[in-house]
Chains A and B, each alone.
Chain A
Amino acid sequence: MNATTTVAEPLLDVRGLTVGFPTRSGLLLAAHDVSFSIRTGRTLGLVGESGCGKSVTLRALLGLVPYPGAILSGAVGWLGRDLRTASEKELRDVRGAEISMVFQDPSSSLNPVFSIGDQLGETLRVRLGMRRREARARAVELLERVGIPSARRRLASYPHQLSGGMRQRVMIALAIASRPKLLLADEPTTALDVTIQEQILVLLRDVQAETGMAIVLVSHDLGVIAEACDEVSVMYAGRLLEQGPAGAVLRWAMHPYTRGLVAAVPPLHPAGANGAVPIAGQPPNLLELPPGCPFAPRCPYATEACAAVPMTLEGPTPHHRSACPFVGQEAR
């Protein structure tokens, strides 16, 4: 490799991440051989139906897989080290400082018994070693940064006194307090009104432009993905099915599942298109996956050969790749 590759070296480089949960009926793989990488200042979208392993993947990055689950194999490359093998102490130093996280439901991700100022101040004092007065000033700055009006007065407010959008802004303020290099956003707009969604996405983009942080945005909303992401990874039943630049994946989807997702988006003009086309069938039971491609039972193009698909991402270009060797790759 030559010197220019170091410039483009990814910030986060996840390789073959597999997360398993022991269950009574066997080992459940919530994430199976998941690989993706992200560079500074970029936004990666992780898209898929509920229960496909998006959130577990995010939590695995921080070593917070819910008990009794565990990372079974793979590597979480972060600034040249592997977070999977890092000690709890090292992970704590990364959490909230280098990588932080925003959650889906801001009404439950803020502690109800502490005021906004207390929660922001705690992060600043505990994680950044600020003094009380300094932390207070910085908390006001942060609240102003995320667009909360009369920030100084808001410090004394409790989470239940704020609207959903405001709470999510506070969560973002908490997450960016220590200027992380990477923000993990787990469905950050799902619980919000559409108009507020837009504001939150714009806020995230603004903060990103300012600080150059990278964002992993988990969503099941292709509209959000299309608007906010540079790259997209499509996840299904714990597996990655397609990966590539956002525009390419959404416009020239290669995998039948991705095509199904795109077709399932309700068109803005009901008369202008054929309407939303749902994907037939149910999301699979992760304990009873078919051999080969997990999407085969619902796939309109499925053949017997699908049971022997190797599930590796291949593609016409190294950037846009799909796990389906039969459909879509001829298109370009």
Chain B
Amino acid sequence: MSVAVEPRAGEELGLRDDGTLGRRARSERRWSALTLWTGVGIMAGIVFMSLAAPLLGFEDPNRQDLAQVLKPPSLDHPFGTDSVGRDIFTRVLYGGRIDLLFGVVTTYVPLVLGVALGAIAGYRGGWLDTVVNRLVDTVIAFPFIVLVLAIVAIFGPGLTGAYIGVFVVGWALYARLTRGEMLVMREREFILAAQTLGYPTWRIVFVHALPNVLRPSIVFSMADIVLNILLLSALSYLGLGVSPPTPEWGALVAEGQSVLLTSWWVATLPGLVIVLVGIGLSLIGDGIADRMGRDFKLTA
């Protein structure tokens, strides 16, 4: 409503908005919406295809057809077949179930843990802050692959070791991000105002301060999902992740490596799917960052 009033004031001075301002604002908003929804579209497509694979006619990812070995992409086999005649597209779809679940779980379980720990440490300060900080330093400084190898050595190869390995390490970055934001937040006057209203500390930390410090963690988490998927792929590649013949994206790429020069599609097309997921999640992350910026930043 106030928008309708202000241009008129300008017109009295002989200035006229030829629509530039409105257009600019609209195009900026449209861009961020486009970014977000493109990302959501990509991810929704991949998730849907993975979950609905059997309904779409892609049934057994492990069915071998030795008459159809290393066939290039065709209508029957959109991504071609591998060295034992398995349909790579089907394997990518079923692999998505493992990889996407792994990516999401290994990102958001540590996120919740790390954010909570970082929030409390940043708000309370004192010895708790020191302890959490040193713990974060230790975890971040420790060579990750060595740690995962150690954990895999305990639990044996497979998803369990990979899950536990990422849980042990993943929280630290979120704790550090959140703690830093919280140090700024706890000096803000509205936190003091919440204290003077007699709210209990947990309420001030988790209800009042937390929504104001979540943004960097949420944006980073989008990149983190991809990183964790790549990590699982790397572990599988090293033979420490899933064991064959379970379809997993990293394992698919690894299998294709030996025939890369003669049958490029075996490694390349699953690799492109990983890239596509990375792009989709990044777009969502950017879109969310824009959106949160718009809702939160205007407060000054």
Assess the A101–B299 pair: CB atoms within 8 A.
Answer: no
**In the complex, chain B residues whose CB is within 8 Å of the CB of A112:** 190, 212, 296, 299
Q: State A110–B208 Cα separation when bound (angstroms).
A: 10
* Residues of chain A within 8 A of B203, CB atoms compared: 126
Asked if B196 CB lies within 8 Å of chain A CBs, one says yes
Question: Is B8 engaged at the interface, CB distance under 8 Å to the other chain?
Answer: no
**Interface hits, A156-177 → B, CB 8 Å:** 158-160, 171, 174
A217 at interface, CB cutoff 8 A = no
User: In the complex, are the beta carbons of A127 and B198 less than 8 A apart?
Assistant: yes
Per-residue 0/1 for B170-201: is the Cβ within 8 Å of any A Cβ (1 yes, 0 no)?
A: 00000000000000000011101111111110
Chain A residues in 8 Å Cβ range of B41: none
Q: Which single member of A96, A104, A114, A158 contacts B197 (CB below 8 Å)?
A: A96
Complex alpha-carbon distance, A115 and B247, angstroms: 48
Contacts A159-B299, A160-B299, A174-B197 given; does A109 touch B212 at CB 8 Å:
no
Q: Please, which residue of chain B has its CB at the minimum distance from the CB of A63?
A: B195
**Which of the residues A97, A109, A123, A158 comes within 8 Å of B190, measured between beta carbons?**
A109
Does residue B300 face the partner (Cβ distance < 8 Å to A)? yes
Is B10 an interface residue when CB atoms closer than 8 A count as contact? no
Kindly provide the distance from the CB of B201 to the nearest chain A CB, expressed in whole angstroms.
9
Question: Given contacts A101-B193, A108-B188, are A113 and B198 in contact (CB under 8 A)?
Answer: no
B residues 241-300 touching A (CB-CB < 8 Å): 295-296, 298-300
Contact B192 A113 (CB under 8 A): no
- Which of B188, B198, B199, B298 is most buried by chain A, counting CB atoms within 10 A of its CB? B198
Q: How far is the CB of A176 from chain B (nearest CB, A)?
A: 12
A92-B200, A126-B203 known; A111 and B194 CB under 8 Å?
yes
The yes or no answer to A15 lying at the interface (CB within 8 A) is no
Report B6 CB to chain A, min CB distance, Å. Answer: 15
Contact code string A86-112 (vs B, CB < 8 Å = 1, else 0): 000000111111001101110111111
B residues in contact with A108, CB < 8 Å: 188-190
Contact B193 A95 (CB under 8 A): no
Interface of B is mostly: helix
Chain A residues in 8 Å Cβ range of B192 = 59, 64, 103, 109
In the complex the two chains form, is A160's CB within 8 Å of B198's CB?
no
Q: Assess whether B54 is interfacial by the CB under 8 Å rule.
A: no
With A and B bound together, what is the CA distance between A329 and B298 in angstroms? 54
Interface size on B, residues (CB 8 A): 23
Q: Is A301 an interface residue (CB 8 A)?
A: no
B22 within 8 A of A: no
Q: Is residue A47 within 8 Å, beta carbon to beta carbon, of the partner chain?
A: no
Q: Could you tell me the distance in whole angstroms from the C-beta of A108 to the nearest C-beta in chain B?
A: 4
B189 touches A109 (CB 8 A): yes
Distance from A192 Cβ to chain B, minimum over Cβ atoms (Å): 15
B211 in contact (CB, < 8 A): yes
Question: Which among B196, B295, B299 has the highest number of chain A CB atoms within 10 Å?
Answer: B196
Specify which chain B residues have a CB less than 8 angstroms from the CB of A171 in the assembled complex. Answer: 193
Shortest beta-carbon distance from B127 to chain A in Å: 13
With A and B bound together, what is the CA distance between A123 and B211 in angstroms? 18
Question: Given contacts A67-B125, A108-B188, A108-B190, is CB(A113)–CB(B196) below 8 Å?
Answer: no
Q: Which of B196, B207, B296 is A101 in contact with, Cβ under 8 Å?
A: B196
Interface residues of A in 170-206 (CB under 8 A from B): 171, 174, 184
- Nearest residue in B to A127 (C-beta to C-beta)? B198
Question: Contact residues of A with B, CB < 8 Å?
Answer: 59, 62, 64, 67, 92-97, 100-101, 103-105, 107-114, 122-123, 126-127, 158-160, 171, 174, 184
Which 4 residue pairs across A and B have the least CB separation, nearest first?
A96-B198, A112-B299, A95-B198, A96-B197
Chain B: residues with CB nearer than 8 A to chain A?
125, 188-190, 192-200, 203, 207-208, 211-212, 295-296, 298-300
Apart from A64-B195, A113-B295, what 10 extra A-B contacts exist at CB < 8 Å? A64-B196, A95-B198, A108-B190, A109-B192, A110-B190, A111-B208, A111-B212, A126-B203, A160-B298, A184-B196
10 A-B residue pairs with Cβ-Cβ distance under 8 Å, sorted by A, are A59-B192, A96-B196, A101-B193, A103-B193, A108-B189, A109-B189, A109-B193, A111-B194, A114-B211, A127-B199
